[in-house]
Amino acid sequence: MNIYDELKWRGLINQVSDEEKVREYLATPGASMYCGFDPTAESLHVGNLVPLLCLVRLKRAGHHPLYLMGGATGRIGDPSGKDKERDLSDPEELEARLEKIKAQVRRFVERNTGERPEIVNNHDWTKDMSAIELLRDVGKHFTVNWMLQKESVKGRIGRDEVGISYTEFSYMILQSYDFYHLYKTRNCRLQIGGGDQWGNITAGCEFIRRRAAHDNEQAEAFALTFPLITTASGKKFGKSEKGAIYLNAEVTSPYTFYQFFINTDDRDVINFLKLFTFLDKDVIASLEKELEEAPHLRSAQKRLAEEVTRMIHGQHELDRVLAATEALFGKGDIKTVDTATLRAALESAPHKHYAQADVPDIPQMLVDLKLVKSKGQARKDIKGGGVYLAGERVADGQEVTDADFIGGELLVIRKGKKNYGLVTRS
């Protein structure tokens, strides 16, 4: 199958400048394409998985994807999809974020292709360009009338209270120059990106054509965008109740990441399996059948969560997450779960911290954690066999020992089947 046809089957094609020519361009291995990532945050998020995965799919198909870091464009700010001007980033902070994103991209690509990605930075070819060169050699090929028709600009021009600065207005020109530079130096004729990038990407295609015509040459480049991913409930994909889901384990724990995907709505899960995994048609069709016949088993959601967590965090972290899930909701041994994963898994559970010398008895802990209303009720629950420490039933009169603290740090207390509390000490 031509990789273009696979992308189309997976629902990854939103707009394309010339479908037949792009399909032809991708028919022969070795084609170059790129997508840009501006360092607007310290970590990429799950929304960035769509272009990242697309580049990896293209790599697996024998092509040569380029991962462009916006060291220059990140200093300007993209107006696409923004209803007001961005605050300009401090250059040192931007460079620090860029290095973190580069490391993320490198790990992701190596894990999923076995090869190092080719990462380029647009600051390398713009930092020495003078204002005169930019205006004369690049800006000359853009008409303001044409730029005003682009959605990224049009949406702001009509809003007198915010408008658009010349800085952000010029973002399109810088991104177009990136495409031209990669076309000239890497023979890159395809740029991909989110649907909100259509105006910027097609501006690059047009700039390449005009610049070539100016030099009495002929050139053609192509644009391809992905659809905006929304859930069946109409929400933008990638947000949880606590905010965005990031790829950095220090920002969003692997457990929270896994839970985000396992909680996917039945109406979305087959679509997400196509978008966010490498599973083929037959496997996804089988999971779709299981979903129809036994939705309560949530086989499709489990497979989705496992595939994406492994893809981002690796098998070792996935094993930790599955061990924690089995310990908390199945019959696994909670003492074997690492403390970092346990903390993440019990993030929403009541928590109490005590000084080393002030750790109380178990009934008082239950009261402090608000798992019971009184110590009398706590003792009654313990006698009834309904209280557990680290997964083991508490006996009447039992005291807390060092052995009850997992990893010497955490005491996990449970009342009944699902009411957890977390105790730490220092």
**387, 253: one domain:** no
Work out the percent of the chain whose per-residue pLDDT is above 70: 98
Q: What was the pLDDT predicted at 337?
A: 87
| Selected residue with higher pLDDT from 330 and 424 | 424
Query: In the listed set 306, 335, 364, which residue is the last one of a domain according to the structure?
Result: 335
**35, 122: one domain:** yes
Per-residue pLDDT reduced to its tens digit, 347-372 = 888 999 998 888 899 999 999 999 99
**177, 322: one domain:** no
Residue 346 lies in a domain: no
Residue 233 lies in a domain: no
Nearest to 80 by CA among 12, 169, 161: 169
**29, 100: one domain:** yes
**73, 102: one domain:** yes
**122, 39: one domain:** yes
Q: What was the pLDDT predicted at 359?
A: 87
DSSP state of 136: I
Distance, CA of 180 to CA of 200 (rounded, Å): 12
Q: What average pLDDT does range 189-204 have in this prediction?
A: 94
Alpha-helical segments (H) within 330-396: 339-345, 362-368, 375-383
Q: Tell me: pLDDT of 28 over 90.
A: yes
Categorize the per-residue pLDDT at 276 as very low, low, confident or very high, splitting at 50, 70 and 90.
Answer: very high
The CATH code of the domain that includes 128 is 3.40.50.620
Categorize the per-residue pLDDT at 83 as very low, low, confident or very high, splitting at 50, 70 and 90.
Answer: low
| Selected residue with higher pLDDT from 218 and 60 | 60
Q: Tell me: pLDDT of 417 over 80.
A: yes
Distance, CA of 272 to CA of 266 (rounded, Å): 10
Structural domain that includes position 372: 351-425
Q: What was the pLDDT predicted at 332?
A: 81
Q: What average pLDDT does range 368-378 have in this prediction?
A: 92
Query: Contact at 8 Å (CB) between 34 and 117?
Result: no
**222, 243: one domain:** no
Q: Tell me: pLDDT of 277 over 90.
A: yes
**What does residue 423 show for φ and ψ, rounded to 5 degrees?**
-120, 135
**174, 314: one domain:** no
Per-residue tokens: 210: 């005009």
Residue in the block written with tokens 């930019």: 134
The CATH code of the domain that includes 403 is 3.10.290.10
CA atoms within a 13 Å half-sphere pointing along the CA-CB vector of 175: 33
Categorize the per-residue pLDDT at 89 as very low, low, confident or very high, splitting at 50, 70 and 90.
Answer: confident
Categorize the per-residue pLDDT at 81 as very low, low, confident or very high, splitting at 50, 70 and 90.
Answer: low
Nearest to 277 by CA among 296, 244, 301: 301
CB-neighbour burial class of residue 294 (10 A; exposed 0-12, middle 13-18, buried 19+): exposed
Q: Tell me: pLDDT of 21 over 80.
A: yes
**219, 362: one domain:** no
Query: Contact at 8 Å (CB) between 346 and 375?
Result: no
Q: In which element (H, E) is residue 177 found?
A: helix 171-186
Written as one letter, the residue type at 240 is S
Helix, strand, coil percentages, rounded to 5, for the chain: 50, 15, 35
Q: What average pLDDT does range 129-158 have in this prediction?
A: 86
Per-residue pLDDT reduced to its tens digit, 49-74 = 999 999 999 999 999 999 999 999 98
**215, 173: one domain:** yes
Q: What was the pLDDT predicted at 329?
A: 81
Q: What was the pLDDT predicted at 159?
A: 67
Based on the structure, what is the number of domains in the chain?
3
Least confident of 257-271, 272-286, 317-331: 317-331
**146, 56: one domain:** yes
